[in-house]
Amino acid sequence: MKFVNEYRDGQIAQKYARALSFLVSKSWTIMEICGGQTHSIVKYGIDQLLPPEITLIHGPGCPVCVTPIELIDEAIAIANQDNTILCSFGDMLRVPGSQHDLLSIKATGKDIRIVYSPLDAIKIAQDNPTKEVVFFGVGFETTAPATAMSVYQAFNLGLKNFSILVSHVLVPPAMEALLSSPETRVQGFLLAGHVCTIMGYTQYEPIAQKYQIPLVVTGFEPVDILQGIYMCIKQLEENRHEVENQYSRSVKKEGNENAQKIITEVFKIVNRNWRGIGEIAESGLGLQDKYIDFDASHKFNLTIEKANQNIECISGLILQGIKKPQECSAFGNNCTPEHPLGAPMVSSEGACAAYYRYRQV
């Protein structure tokens, strides 16, 4: 299969691993920013192929994982309203709120539906004019265009019974928050290829210069990741700090300008609370005033108190690359995919889920 099989070629992967062993001369720590990359790394044992001088740590690149507890609680409160249909991606249903998750609420008979696109929720709203239909909009810049398009369509259709609960977050501010922390271990970044497909990568150039750190736009298959690591280590060894593009088959420097236009039309940049990390300035998207009637938080006007994470769960440290999943005492014991304490254990992009699935002894 073109663009798949050749990027899973074991001989090519071994070639990059050998090349890295000749290239590296000192210890380096690289963070992949995307949960999809984390799963590939753990599934294919990429980290175990690398020379011991290279350490990979996992970043906050799982949007489901960083969705704050109070937004889960708000989604549950909305789902509990009469004559309401809550639509969500499947990953969100198992993420624990302060007391419950959406799946347990669905089991009580509430109308919670898994959709594959926010545009599916538009059709549901059209088919159910007497009910309020709410889409739980979660994701990085990758999924923001589709959410924005659903709001734009609802506005132009005059669809009064549709709204979104917004939890879109942005990658560059999160990277800056990590790099400015005194606890940071990051010396280079693998950037998320799908985010850069939408946004391009010019916005990362100031970060590379400010923090004197190499950034490599990287794909998701094993050879992609090994090539991205090689490019990053080569920069580190040569004392360079640039933005390079490994994922050129998908990513252009300017990104997808049409997708960017719909994001800018519908959304504005806001501060956002990240689960396990805290508030990061200008790291989220909220609806422009023109579209405020489609903001579920505004429409339902619910008072939701902030909740603290389970004290056993160290997902905040894991999302910041300070700890790895197996360093959590609850991992595989009190915290499993069937009974998760935190979101990284249930999300398809969560680091804990990856380690539980592929590294359990």
Q: Determine the Cα–Cα distance for residues 296 and 75; give it in Å rounded to an integer.
A: 9
- Whether residue 136 contacts residue 92, with contact meaning beta carbons closer than 8 Å, is answered with yes
- Does residue 5 have a pLDDT over 80? no
pLDDT at 8 over 90: no
Give mean pLDDT, residues 168-180.
95
> What pLDDT was estimated at residue 3?
64
Which range, of 53-57, 132-136, 268-272, 334-338, averages the lowest pLDDT?
334-338
Residue 2 has pLDDT above 70, yes or no: no
**Backbone dihedral region for residue 47 (phi beyond 0: left; psi -120 to 50: alpha; all else: beta):** alpha
Percent share of the chain, pLDDT over 90: 83
Q: Reduced to 3 states, what is the DSSP secondary structure of residue 97? A: coil
Q: What is the DSSP letter of 216?
A: E
Residue 209 has pLDDT above 70, yes or no: yes
CB environment 53-62: b (16+ within 10 A), e (fewer): ebbbbbbbbb
Domain range summary for the chain, segments of one domain joined by +: 64-171+255-300
pLDDT(4) > 80: no
DSSP 241-301: --EEES-TTT--TT--HHHHHHHHHHEEEEEEEETTTEEEEEEEEEE-GGGGGGBHHHHH-
Whether the per-residue pLDDT at 1 is higher than 60: the answer is: no
> What average pLDDT does the chain have?
93
Instruction: Supply 192's token pair.
Output: 């998320």
DSSP state of 54: E
| CATH superfamily to which 64-171+255-300 belongs | HypD, alpha/beta domain 2 (3.40.50.11740)
pLDDT of residue 322: 92
Query: pLDDT digits over 297-323, tens only?
Result: 999 988 777 777 778 899 889 999 999
Q: What is the pLDDT of residues 77-95, one digit of tens each?
A: 999 999 999 999 998 999 9
pLDDT in tens, 176-189: 999 999 989 999 99
- pLDDT at residue 347 tops 70: yes
Q: What is the pTM of this model?
A: 0.93
What is the mean predicted confidence (pLDDT) over 318-347?
91
Summarised one tens digit per residue, pLDDT across range 251-275 is: 999 999 999 999 999 999 999 999 8
The mean pLDDT of 31-45, rounded to a whole number, is: 94
Tell me what the mean pLDDT of segment 283-306 comes to.
92
Q: What percent of the chain is predicted at pLDDT more than 70?
A: 99
Instruction: Strand 112-114: give its sheet, edge to edge.
Output: 112-114, 84-88, 132-139, 162-169, 278-287, 267-274
